[in-house]
Amino acid sequence: MAAPSLLNWRRVSSFTGPVPRARHGHRAVAIRELMIIFGGGNEGIADELHVYNTVTNQWFLPAVRGDIPPGCAAHGFVCDGTRILVFGGMVEYGRYSSELYELQASRWLWKKVKPHPPSSGLPPCPRLGHSFSLYGNKCYLFGGLANESEDSNNNVPRYLNDFYELELQHGSGVVGWSIPLTKGIMPSPRESHTAIIYCKKDSGSPKMYVFGGMCGARLDDLWQLDLETMSWSKPETKGTVPLPRSLHTASVIGNKMYIFGGWVPHKGENIETSSHDCEWRCTSSFSYLNLDTAEWITLVSDSQEDKKNSRPRPRAGHCAVAIGTRLYFWSGRDGYKKALNSQVCCKDLWYLDTEKPPAPSQVQLIKATTNSFHVKWDEVPTVEGYLLQLNTDLPYQTAAPDSSAAPNMQGIRVDSPRQGSNSTNSNSISDTVNSAKTEHTAMKGTSVKNKPDPKASIGPNAIVHSSLATNASNHNSCVVDVLRRNEGPHTSADIGVLSSCLDIRTVTPETSVSRTLSSTQTMVTQQTIKTESSSTNGAVVKDETSLTTFSTKSEVDETCALPATKISRVETHAAGVPFSKEIPSNPAATMKLGERQWCDVGIFKNNTALVSQFYLLPKGKQSISKVGNADVPDYSLLKKQDLVPGTGYRFRVAAINGCGIGPFSKISEFKTCIPGFPGAPSAVKISKNVDGIHLSWEPPTSPSENILEYSAYLAIRTAQIQDNPSQLVFMRIYCGLKTSCIVTAGQLANAHIDHTSRPAIVFRISAKNEKGYGPATQVRWLQGNNKRAPLN
């Protein structure tokens, strides 16, 4: 975590959509990039469900249906996958609830659920200000405030310290309440406290931590409950304990519990004084507890003033939600006006990055030309940009200075989450959570020759775009189109989760050969092959006698230049490394590769880049990019150099957030190409039939020469894949002039289900002309959650 003086708060502005009215006592949870807010009060109790998309910076009101609960405040609110549970809360002044509702966010469907009562004892009474925490398939309810009076106008508060366990059914529904027998001294009764659950990664049992709250006076005690032994204890802590407080928030990121805001005593007050004699105020103090070392660390003290409005102002009854390593805070009250007899609520939305972002996946190749690369990498959640760098063994030759940088190479501070489309959001969480995505990744490999061949194939001028055609009653076929454009990759949307759809990628070979296979079936696996010219990491073709075993010898008469490669989400090696060495990620080791400097390609808002030039650094500097509490380079003042045909370039990328630049990815290496090879087949279709599936495609739109043949391949199960799932093994299932083939049920029974993203069966299709095989179109036939039986 950054030092207190280096905290880089961001206030979100310029969002779109219906912004919810300011409030307090509301609750929020996160489903991937969505912050979902329910309830709270300010001039009446709110009953709307609001959603904020942290990627597109957009608020929207989903069209909920079903058993819609009444508005409530100070309720329990937890998220289990895409299911949200709401328990209790105040539904009107003096009247509290003990009802339980479930929201299926994938359909925005509310349902009132009735858990079985405990086998001994009463179910939880109506309450507010309780804690409701989820771990595994159980929710844990502790404490809160009940109304002792049956008359809602005559509120007689009763603080609670009862403890319940609620068992959930998988996916939807609940089993019932139980009252666990606990050991040790229980925490005193309280409400408006916080409770989180944490379990060490390597060892230890899950533990629930209860902090603060209100019981006639504000509290600052910390309690721990071991959920395996059900033993209560008070852990001894180090550091400065936060002031007594209630209506604060507690959020867990990693091994830290972050405490923000709440009601605290006035400065100089004796906190031991009765609450009736003590004035209370809101705070913006910010601390965390290291849950492994039990040490409190103060990040923003209660005495620190903020004259520049550079962080959230004091508040209580707000909401906080963690998305990745970023904390979001919204609304809450910051005081009470006795003259107006009303609360003063904040209307602002803030976020804070708690640590530098993790390293992205390796850079992947979408398209290569003679003097450019179109590259991508997997998105890192909640970042403000990416720094892309390259180096090469060629001498750096200065290009003409240019005062204008590429539009998406802006080295600028970003004061809000990455901006996206302002289009109206559909009333389904599947738009942003469950949408099937079509990823477009061209990955380079090599083929094998007995003698060196100076010819290298060119990647196609193709970007793959998916247009998924579905029918409510028939999901058996999907159509995927390949568009040849100089744009970034596209993704499909608004189709939800289908049991059968496609994900297409383009795979680009590096070299080709023209010999003949003696076997009718071809096994392709990625491993290192030494040739006379170089040792390459690419595709190997082996003769084989069965679907799952390699032959002891391989008579390589023709190599199908269709490289087996790692899927884009695998982080062990570069997806598309066409050279011999595994590239070290250690900067010191990297410098030995020609002792070349890393040069900035630019800072990009999104996770794709079209690279045709790079910036030359001042002599002796490894990198000049500094973001987050440091200088950002002015690229317009730097000289640029063009990429050169037939040249290898090494790439790495790092994510950027408010804490600065994170670690770099592992290194990928690609080569600019020479023209002459056919493009990738396009418009791939898969449909089921009685024999298996029908796989069809269209010829490359602009082949360099007449197409001599097509080859189609299927990734199959082998012991090698079980040991290393990222290393796919392909078997050729078709070779001929036709643009379609039947994949039999017997062949599909041996298919490998790739789980690097969504479960899918992987096919590859490539075309061959007089120069050899061109790039392959990789098709991921999505299988839903089925690990086998792809035809079901």
Asked if 43 and 133 sit in the same domain, the reply is yes
Would you say the C-alpha torsion 605, 610, 613, 619 has a positive or negative sign?
positive
Q: What is the largest CA-CA distance in the chain?
A: 94
Residue 153 lies in a domain: yes
More confident residue, 227 or 487: 227
DSSP type of residue 451: S
CA distances (Å), 319 to each of 26, 30, 31, 141, 548, in order? Answer: 7, 11, 15, 19, 54
| Bridge partner residues of 767 (DSSP) | 710
Which domain-ending residue is among 294, 322, 353? 353
The backbone torsions φ and ψ at residue 630, rounded to the nearest 5 degrees and listed phi first, read: -155, 175
| Range ranked top by mean pLDDT from 281-285, 497-501, 550-554, 636-640 | 281-285
| Bridge partner residues of 386 (DSSP) | 604, 655
Please write the tens of the pLDDT for every residue from 129-158.
999 999 999 999 999 999 887 776 777 889
pLDDT at 741: 95
Which domain-ending residue is among 353, 381, 408? 353
pLDDT at 789: 47
Q: What is the mean pLDDT of residues 516-540?
A: 27
Asked if 132 and 183 sit in the same domain, the reply is yes
The Cα–Cα gap between 241 and 211 comes to 11
The Cα–Cα gap between 205 and 200 comes to 7
The Cα–Cα gap between 284 and 334 comes to 10
| Residue 505 structure tokens | 């990628």
pLDDT at 90: 96
Report the candidate in 421, 435, 515 with the shortest Cα–Cα distance to residue 468: 435
What's the 3-state SS for 455-500?
Answer: CCCCCCCCEECCCCCCECCECCCEECCEECCCCCCCCCCCCCCCCC
Q: What is the mean pLDDT of residues 63-71?
A: 97
The Cα–Cα gap between 651 and 577 comes to 11
Say if residue 400 is exposed, middle or buried (CB neighbours under 10 Å; 0-12, 13-18, 19+): exposed
Please write the tens of the pLDDT for every residue from 200-214.
987 789 999 999 999
Residue 239: count of CB within 10 angstroms of its CB? 15
Asked if 195 and 214 sit in the same domain, the reply is yes
pLDDT at 726: 59
Asked if 288 and 382 sit in the same domain, the reply is no
More confident residue, 302 or 513: 302
Please write the tens of the pLDDT for every residue from 576-589.
323 323 344 443 33
Asked if 711 and 778 sit in the same domain, the reply is yes
pLDDT at 681: 81
Asked if 139 and 50 sit in the same domain, the reply is yes
CATH of the domain at 739: 2.60.40.10
The Cα–Cα gap between 335 and 313 comes to 11
Domain carrying residue 613: 356-394+597-617+638-674
Whether residue 19 is predicted with pLDDT greater than 70 in this model: the reply is yes
CA dihedral 412, 416, 420, 425 (to 10 degrees): 180
Whether residue 271 is predicted with pLDDT greater than 90 in this model: the reply is no
Q: For the chain, give the percent of residues with pLDDT over 90.
A: 48
The Cα–Cα gap between 732 and 503 comes to 20
| Residue 181 structure tokens | 């027998």
Which domain-ending residue is among 353, 380, 411? 353
The Cα–Cα gap between 84 and 254 comes to 22
Residue with tokens 């957009």: 58
| Range ranked top by mean pLDDT from 106-120, 254-268, 566-580, 775-789 | 106-120
Q: What is the mean pLDDT of residues 587-600?
A: 58
Of the pLDDT bands very low, low, confident and very high (cuts 50, 70, 90), residue 497 is very low
| Number of domain units in the chain | 3
Whether residue 95 is predicted with pLDDT greater than 70 in this model: the reply is yes
Asked if 719 and 658 sit in the same domain, the reply is no
**Worst-scoring range by mean pLDDT, 85-99, 103-117, 380-394, 512-526?**
512-526
The Cα–Cα gap between 276 and 272 comes to 11
Residue 476 lies in a domain: no
Residue 552 lies in a domain: no
Q: For the chain, give the percent of residues with pLDDT over 70.
A: 66
pLDDT at 773: 85
**Worst-scoring range by mean pLDDT, 282-291, 457-466, 617-626?**
457-466
pLDDT at 670: 83
The Cα–Cα gap between 583 and 579 comes to 9
Beta strands in 256-356 (DSSP E): 256-260, 263-265, 280-282, 286-290, 295-300, 319-323, 326-330, 333-337, 342-345, 349-353
Residue 196 lies in a domain: yes
Q: What is the mean pLDDT of residues 266-295?
A: 75
Residue 704 lies in a domain: yes
CA dihedral 563, 566, 568, 573 (to 10 degrees): -120
Asked if 706 and 643 sit in the same domain, the reply is no
Q: What is the mean pLDDT of residues 496-513?
A: 35
pLDDT at 723: 65
pLDDT at 680: 74
The Cα–Cα gap between 380 and 360 comes to 6
pLDDT at 785: 56
Whether residue 246 is predicted with pLDDT greater than 50 in this model: the reply is yes
Instruction: Tell me which H or E stretch contains 782.
Output: strand 772-782
Residue 431, SS3 per DSSP:
helix
pLDDT at 756: 66
Asked if 221 and 184 sit in the same domain, the reply is yes
| Percent of the chain as helix, strand, coil, to the nearest 5 | 5, 40, 55
Q: What is the mean pLDDT of residues 672-699?
A: 84
Q: What is the mean pLDDT of residues 310-329?
A: 95
The Cα–Cα gap between 40 and 50 comes to 11
Residue 539 lies in a domain: no
**Contact indicator for 495, 501 with CB cutoff of 8 Å:** yes
CATH of the domain at 202: 2.120.10.80
**What is the reported pTM?**
0.68
Please write the tens of the pLDDT for every residue from 397-428.
544 444 443 333 333 333 344 334 444 444 44
pLDDT at 507: 46
The mean predicted confidence, pLDDT, of the chain is: 74
Of the pLDDT bands very low, low, confident and very high (cuts 50, 70, 90), residue 522 is very low
More confident residue, 446 or 241: 241
CA distances (Å), 714 to each of 158, 308, 482, 540, 743, in order? Answer: 66, 61, 20, 15, 9
CA distances (Å), 614 to each of 270, 396, 599, 633, in order? Answer: 62, 10, 7, 13
Please write the tens of the pLDDT for every residue from 335-347.
655 555 556 899 9
* Exposure string for 40-62, b = 16+ CB within 10 A, e = fewer: bbbeebbebbbbbbbbbbbbbeb
**Contact indicator for 142, 210 with CB cutoff of 8 Å:** yes
What's the 3-state SS for 22-51?
Answer: CCECCEEEEECCEEEEECCECCCECCCEEE
**Worst-scoring range by mean pLDDT, 69-78, 97-106, 365-374, 596-605?**
365-374
Residue 446 lies in a domain: no
Please write the tens of the pLDDT for every residue from 613-653.
999 876 655 554 555 444 567 788 889 999 988 788 999 99
Residue with tokens 């290192």: 528
Asked if 662 and 771 sit in the same domain, the reply is no
Q: What is the mean pLDDT of residues 654-667?
A: 93
More confident residue, 784 or 588: 784
Q: What is the mean pLDDT of residues 229-248?
A: 97
pLDDT at 404: 41
DSSP type of residue 419: P
Residue 103 lies in a domain: yes
Asked if 704 and 601 sit in the same domain, the reply is no
Of the pLDDT bands very low, low, confident and very high (cuts 50, 70, 90), residue 655 is very high
**Contact indicator for 358, 655 with CB cutoff of 8 Å:** yes
Asked if 247 and 389 sit in the same domain, the reply is no
pLDDT at 581: 33
pLDDT at 317: 97
Would you say the C-alpha torsion 57, 63, 64, 69 has a positive or negative sign?
positive
Q: What is the mean pLDDT of residues 69-88?
A: 97
